[in-house]
């Protein structure tokens, strides 16, 4: 299944790991011998000055030795570190010792890590020259592998003939994302400053997908989506403490993803390759009494001979933005922003071809072609002003507005051919054309007024009110006005100099909601504390609670997100320190659901009249409950000047549950734990030379039944050995 999606370089310890070990041993021997041959005395400060620059460099050369057991797919999904040599880190800094004598730049820094095979590799470069320019850039490459077999897996019944269970996720992927960002400021300290930036983001690679035409067909999705963005801006400082800014943003998106059928692992009696998809079951593939006849696919079963789809999309986002900020008026500051964007998205050549058999209408072949166009016209902005009425009391008023409309048109032509079975040629097609027009508009206005009062040097508080109006309309004639009222409170209290307590409270009520899970009542409470009873001891704690609900008939949506965390840092001297952290997070939501299911889940009941239709006869309270605990302990120990050690333990555990509409569904990751003990040592061999070693264990386990798919637990050991040369 999904042969185009191999796991990314997965492997266990063997010949490759032994090769890596031999390489590392040879590298460490060569480096140590070279270090011993050098002068043991530390370099003088002038040794790093060349051509008028103070230069510092370091490079970490080494690699990983990896051993893992259990599910390689889930290991690659969550860790994906593999054996092999690496450039683990590289850094370079150059600072001019005499800025008036430097020509190209005053300061240059660059950092890199992860090259040679790690899933994440990054390079940053920052260059500046006094009043002339400031350049910041970065490149990042991320391999994103995902194969958690319970995602989008239909969990085929044991009544399948043959009994074939899907061991991978039909929607797994193995893509690479590359990001390039360049930002340049011209004359950053002048009255007029220019800004130029460019960003390039591309994601490409194979992925898995499905399509439902009679049955669930497996597809190989060749992903290729890219975005290019440009920004040209200018900042003008006509007065002290006043800045006017203008930006022109242009973003261009290209969607060139294609889909094609995979899983052609059966055949018809005439030898034609065919795919039954993932629903190889008489219970799921009605009215097919038997998927196979004399070892060949029944030609009247829902099946695929071929399927392809392409929908190249081009989207242009031109945006203009004006900003200002000023504090030129005594005791009065203000800032504002106005943005306009007119986006155009075109899909000029949709092409979707299905060849096979669908029992609904005895369809043998369909070809869908056409084009679509959408626009998004967006105007939004904000204005804020703060008046320091008296030294200890200030009043702030902020007004925001957002007005957008999205008209879209589409013209599709569908050519449909019928036929008695896949063994006969399709009948001549019948053609139907459709034109659609859709739009959605939204106007939002928000005003927030807050008064801030410094009661005493140790007590500050603010109280505010927010009013928001949203009006949503669409092509179906819906007109939905929504009004929200908010009460906002915040305080900072320092009863003693060592203790600081910050509190925020937000309360909201709305008269309507746009979606079933949009809240009509919301409460958000945040308390953060920091306590430093001794210079070497720091304690902190946070409570973050959000409660919301939409308690109307047939919805009754309730949800909360409650987070509690504690932390402590003990650092009595330069030789050792300990860091402790614990967090508890409870995420819960429940909503009444109307749906169709065969067989009916044990938690369901007949749906009420308000949501009954031919396809939704059942109702239940769908819920999701994921209480999660996180804990970590970390220490550092430096017994002598040349030896540095660190270690610790991290664990994340969830004991949750959800409404299982599919009777064969299991809790999976909702009943799981992920732990990672680690230890590391750095030893200074000689001046400029450091030997490094680190060991990390990764362990993932699920406490619930595995279900019909393969097990997902794994254990992994990653040993990293490196030598750092700093010069």
Contact call for residues 691 and 682 (beta carbons, < 8 A): yes
Give the C-alpha separation, 636 to 648, whole Å.
Answer: 9
pLDDT at 7: 66
Does 670 have pLDDT greater than 90?
yes
Structural domain contains residue 193 = no
Mean predicted confidence (pLDDT) in 290-301: 85
Percent residues over pLDDT 70 in the chain: 89
Burial readout 290-299 (b: 16 or more C-beta within 10 A, e: otherwise): ebeeeebbbb
Indicate the pTM of the whole model.
0.87
pLDDT at 18: 37
Mean predicted confidence (pLDDT) in 625-635: 96
Q: Tens digits of per-residue pLDDT, 145-189?
A: 999 988 887 766 655 555 556 778 889 999 999 999 999 999 998
Give the C-alpha separation, 308 to 320, whole Å.
Answer: 39
Contact call for residues 25 and 192 (beta carbons, < 8 A): no
Confidence of residue 647 (pLDDT cuts 50, 70, 90): very high
Confidence of residue 622 (pLDDT cuts 50, 70, 90): confident
Confidence of residue 6 (pLDDT cuts 50, 70, 90): low
Does 477 have pLDDT greater than 90?
no
pLDDT at 612: 60
Q: Tens digits of per-residue pLDDT, 402-430?
A: 999 999 999 999 999 999 999 999 999 99
Confidence of residue 570 (pLDDT cuts 50, 70, 90): very high
Structural domain contains residue 713 = yes
Mean predicted confidence (pLDDT) in 592-598: 78
Give the C-alpha separation, 353 to 346, whole Å.
Answer: 21
Percent residues over pLDDT 90 in the chain: 71
Residue whose entry in the numeric block shows the structure tokens 């950092």: 111
pLDDT at 327: 94
Mean predicted confidence (pLDDT) in 618-637: 92
Here the tokens at position 315 are 């989207």
Give the C-alpha separation, 124 to 136, whole Å.
Answer: 8
Instruction: State how far the alpha carbon of 684 is from the alpha carbons of 29, 32, 35, 374, in Å.
Output: 15, 11, 11, 62
Does 610 have pLDDT greater than 80?
no
Domain count, the chain: 1
Structural domain contains residue 303 = no
Does 557 have pLDDT greater than 50?
yes
Q: 245-259, 460-474, 612-626, 687-701: which has the minimum mean pLDDT? A: 612-626
Mean residue pLDDT of the chain comes to 88
Give the C-alpha separation, 473 to 595, whole Å.
Answer: 27
Radius of gyration of the CA atoms of the chain, in A: 31
Q: Tens digits of per-residue pLDDT, 75-123?
A: 999 999 999 999 999 999 999 887 666 678 899 999 999 999 999 999 9
Structural domain contains residue 1 = yes
Give the residue numbers spanning the domain of 85.
1-37+54-112+125-133+683-727
Mean predicted confidence (pLDDT) in 525-549: 96
Task: Please state, as a whole number, how many other Cβ atoms lie within 10 Å of the Cβ of residue 209.
Answer: 20
Structural domain contains residue 628 = no
Structural domain contains residue 568 = no
Confidence of residue 597 (pLDDT cuts 50, 70, 90): confident
Structural domain contains residue 81 = yes
Structural domain contains residue 85 = yes
Strands 120-129 and 133-146: antiparallel
In the three-class reduction of DSSP (H, G, I as helix; E, B as strand; rest coil), residue 22 is classed as helix
Give, for 639, the enclosing helix (H) or strand (E).
strand 618-640
Q: Tens digits of per-residue pLDDT, 14-57?
A: 334 434 443 443 444 444 444 434 444 444 555 678 778 889 99
pLDDT at 164: 59
Q: 29-43, 487-501, 519-533, 542-556: which has the minimum mean pLDDT? A: 29-43
Between 664 and 118, the higher pLDDT residue? 118
């Amino acid at each position: 299944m999904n042969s185009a999606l191999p796991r990314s370089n997965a492997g266990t310890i063997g010949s490759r790991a032994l090769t890596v070990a031999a390489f590392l041993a040879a590298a460490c021997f060569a480096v140590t011998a070279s270090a011993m041959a050098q002068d043991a005395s530390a370099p003088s400060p002038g040794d790093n000055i060349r051509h008028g620059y103070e230069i510092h460099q370091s490079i970490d050369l080494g690699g990983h030795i990896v051993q893992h057991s259990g599910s390689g797919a889930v290991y690659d999904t969550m860790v994906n570190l593999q054996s092999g040599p690496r450039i683990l880190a590289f850094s370079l800094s150059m600072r001019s010792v005499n800025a008036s004598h430097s020509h190209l730049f005053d300061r240059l820094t660059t950092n890199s890590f992860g090259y040679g095979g790690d899933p994440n590799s990054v390079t940053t470069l920052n260059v500046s020259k006094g009043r002339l320019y400031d350049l910041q850039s970065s490149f990042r490459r991320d391999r994103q592998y995902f194969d958690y077999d319970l995602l989008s897996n239909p969990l085929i019944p044991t009544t399948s003939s043959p009994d074939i269970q899907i061991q991978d996720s039909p929607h797994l992927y193995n893509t690479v994302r590359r990001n390039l960002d360049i930002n340049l400021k011209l004359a950053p300290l002048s009255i007029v400053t220019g800004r130029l930036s460019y960003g390039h983001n591309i994601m490409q690679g194979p992925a898995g997908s499905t399509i439902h035409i009679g049955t669930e067909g497996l597809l190989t999705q060749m992903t290729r989506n890219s975005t290019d963005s440009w920004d040209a801006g200018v900042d003008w400082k006509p007065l002290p403490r006043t800045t006017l800014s203008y930006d022109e943003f242009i973003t261009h998106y290209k969607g060139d993803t294609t889909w094609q059928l995979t899983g052609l692992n059966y055949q018809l009696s005439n030898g034609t390759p065919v795919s039954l998809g993932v629903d190889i079951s008489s219970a799921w593939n009605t009215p097919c009494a038997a998927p196979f006849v004399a070892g060949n696919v029944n030609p009247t079963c829902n099946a695929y001979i071929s399927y392809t789809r392409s929908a190249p999309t081009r989207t242009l986002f031109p945006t203009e933005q004006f900003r200002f900020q000023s504090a030129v008026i005594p005791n009065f500051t203000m800032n504002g922003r106005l943005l306009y964007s007119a986006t155009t998205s075109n899909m000029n050549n949709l092409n979707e071809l299905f060849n096979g058999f669908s029992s609904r209408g005895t369809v043998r072949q369909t070809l869908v072609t056409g084009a679509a166009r959408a626009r998004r016209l967006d105007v939004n902005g904000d204005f804020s002003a703060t008046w320091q009425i008296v030294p200890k009391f200030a009043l702030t008023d902020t007004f925001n507005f957002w007005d957008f409309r999205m008209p879209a048109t589409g013209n599709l032509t569908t050519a449909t051919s019928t036929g008695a079975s896949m063994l006969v040629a399709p009948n001549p097609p019948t053609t139907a054309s459709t034109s659609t027009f859709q739009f959605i508009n939204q106007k939002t206005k928000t005003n927030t007024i807050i008064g801030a009062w410094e009661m005493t040097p140790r007590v500050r508080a603010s109280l505010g009110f927010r009013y928001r109006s949203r009006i949503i309309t669409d092509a179906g004639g819906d007109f939905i006005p929504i009004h929200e009222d908010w009460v906002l409170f915040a305080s900072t209290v320092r009863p003693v100099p060592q203790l600081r307590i910050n509190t925020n409270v937000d309360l909201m009520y709305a008269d309507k909601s746009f979606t079933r899970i949009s809240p009509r009542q919301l409460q958000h409470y945040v308390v953060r504390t920091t306590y430093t009873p001794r210079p070497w001891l720091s304690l902190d704690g946070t409570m973050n609670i959000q409660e919301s609900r939409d308690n109307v008939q047939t919805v009754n949506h309730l949800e909360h997100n409650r987070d509690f965390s504690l932390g402590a840092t003990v650092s009595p001297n330069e030789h050792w320190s300990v860091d402790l952290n614990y967090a508890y997070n409870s995420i819960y939501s429940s909503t009444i659901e109307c749906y169709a299911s065969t067989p009916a889940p044990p938690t369901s009941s007949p749906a009420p009249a308000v949501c009954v239709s031919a396809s939704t006869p059942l109702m239940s309270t769908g819920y999701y409950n994921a209480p999660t605990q996180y804990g970590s302990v970390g220490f550092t120990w430096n017994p002598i000047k040349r030896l540095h050690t660190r270690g610790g333990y991290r664990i994340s555990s969830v004991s949750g549950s959800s409404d299982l509409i599919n009777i064969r569904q299991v809790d999976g990751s909702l009943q799981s734990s992920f732990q990672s003990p680690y230890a590391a040592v750095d030893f200074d061999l000689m001046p400029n030379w450091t030997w490094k070693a680190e060991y990390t264990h990764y362990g993932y386990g699920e406490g619930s039944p595995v279900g019909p798919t393969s097990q997902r637990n794994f254990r992994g050991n990653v040993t990293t050995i490196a030598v750092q040369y700093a010069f």
